[in-house]
A and B are shown apart, each in its own frame.
Chain A
């Protein structure tokens, strides 16, 4: 039973949290409400409470969205990004997962040193090594290609570490039992280790998705033009076009935001788990 004082404190805390969350929600609500309005209405409503109220549902309600979807390649960019994310999730789980497994369960010389080095890599920001990545990919002649974009993104020390932490706690006797069941090490990894570690697989998938979806710098360097652009680059290209209206800009931003909101609301548990288990957040 909560005491009267605890109850009161709970009420106060809830109220404070609601007010605080409003500060964060206002811009989003404003974006969403105005993405349905023509520019004139946006300017008119700017100083009143109607700035947070969507317009009446009429024939022109979805005009901004329809213009963007029909006149630009934005759908294409969104699908591109989803495709990159899917490929990077699969490759990332295989490569980082195997590396994490080796660091957790296989005895090899200097294993602890390797782990240290990989952990040190976690503190190196992407921005500091991105020029090297760029030069490397350019030398390989892979600029403006899907492979060129994906290759440097596969290995992720943070994910290796995350996998390693979870795999360390897997019992060894299951591996021994599987050996007697004629299960090869590779098969063991895919049919036992990954299914037994569903939550870390989910966490890594979510982080990878958010990483790919929100990344701007790397795709902006690799993709100079054309059909391969990601949603973020496409967003920039569309909004910086002088023919694009304010309402259309907000509609694009809304569309880019929606998948992130969906992912966060569906997988908040995994995201928190990932942050808690490693004490850091990336993505």
Chain B
């Protein structure tokens, strides 16, 4: 049994007939960093709030450290939480914000001081110690919120989109700090985010949700390389995976615009039952424009006209119409193309993902 165990957890709000969360099953190991990710309204925050005890669990069971927690008050669940809007106490100084919980828990004064000093130090808040939240920047406020969570020594850390109110640069540095903090403290962390980059970079395991249902659970690279369905494939990775509706004729893929590409026999064999076509997905970095790959796959060379480019600095995204949809290829910064250029490219057959057109589930190759 995992350290945190969710068994068939459902959430249904009054006056609605649809579940906000359906049959959520997850076993979280101690010290694991788990990210719940999905588009807004997918039930990730609701699930987190059920674990925290702020939302009632409609059905199913929640165990933390072996104890059933369904009816336990939030403060007795052994959790601390960081909120999206920080939820700092506006009339208290940084120091009081951090130590407030310890005081209520009747921790001896010298220990409160020691812990507060420690939190203030590792979060770099020394000079702001006696300031009130309104005199702090967003990043500093988020640090105070983190401080408030870490001083209590709880075994479980819940974070509800903690970085979504910060600017892009700060988000990257806070991402690092949270990862570091997690490694140092070793507390079990559940991190809710709609940003797949945060999930990919920080989590040991990611839970992807949509419409209240878990789509896939797994390590970041597992999800990236082996998405269980089209939704996961599209959600993880930026720019988004390209999807094409295709038909198969023996080993030949026929795109909507009648372009053709060859598949190796091993792959084609496993797809033969999809007589009415299927969905093929390929990531931008697996569309190659370099001479070497073009030479290796002469039979599957395609042509397209670039209609937009995104210069990222370290790499370039090239947009073009192909197979009836706008496609994107991710190429190195040395491969310069301009809008209007006709380029030749190949789609790497072993990097293609195939999805059932009805269920959108991945076809196992």
Contact = CB atoms under 8 A, between A and B. Distances in A.
B54 interface: yes
A176 B81 contact: yes
Interface in B36-93: 52, 54, 73-75, 79-81, 83-85, 87-91
Interface string A169-188: 00101101111111100010
Contact of A173 (B73, B80, B83): B83
Q: A174, A176, A182, A183 — which one has the most chain B CB atoms within 10 A of its CB?
A: A182
B75 A171 contact: no
B85 A196 contact: no
Contacts, number: 56
Given A176-B54, A176-B81, A181 B100 contact: yes
Contacts of B104: 181-183, 187
Interface string B84-117: 1101111100000000110011000000000000
A143 B285 CA distance: 88
Interface in A154-179: 171, 173-174, 176-179
Nearest to B105: A182
A187 B104 CA distance: 10
Given A176-B52, A180-B75, A182-B101, A196 B83 contact: no
Measured as residues with beta carbon below 8 angstroms from the partner, the interface class of chain A is: 10 to 19
B262 to A, nearest CB: 56
Interface string B162-181: 00000000000000000000
A192 B91 CA distance: 8
Q: Place the interface of chain B in its size category.
A: 20 to 34
A177 B75 contact: no
Nearest to A177: B87
B74 A176 contact: yes
A187 B100 CA distance: 12
A66 B283 CA distance: 95
A195 interface: yes
A181 B74 contact: no
Contacts of A182: 75, 101, 104-105
B293 to A, nearest CB: 51
B89 A174 contact: yes
Contacts of A173: 83-85, 87
A90 B80 CA distance: 35
Contacts of B54: 176, 179
Contacts of B105: 182
Contacts of A195: 91
Interface string A186-206: 010000100110100000000
Contact of B87 (A171, A183, A187, A198): A171
A223 to B, nearest CB: 40
Nearest to B91: A195
Contacts of B84: 173
Contacts of B89: 174, 177-178, 192, 196
Interface of B: 52, 54, 73-75, 79-81, 83-85, 87-91, 100-101, 104-105, 148, 152
Given A173-B83, A177-B88, A180-B81, 11 more contacts: A173-B85, A176-B81, A178-B89, A179-B54, A180-B52, A180-B75, A180-B152, A181-B152, A187-B104, A192-B89, A195-B91
Closest 4 CB pairs of A and B: A181-B101, A173-B87, A182-B104, A177-B87
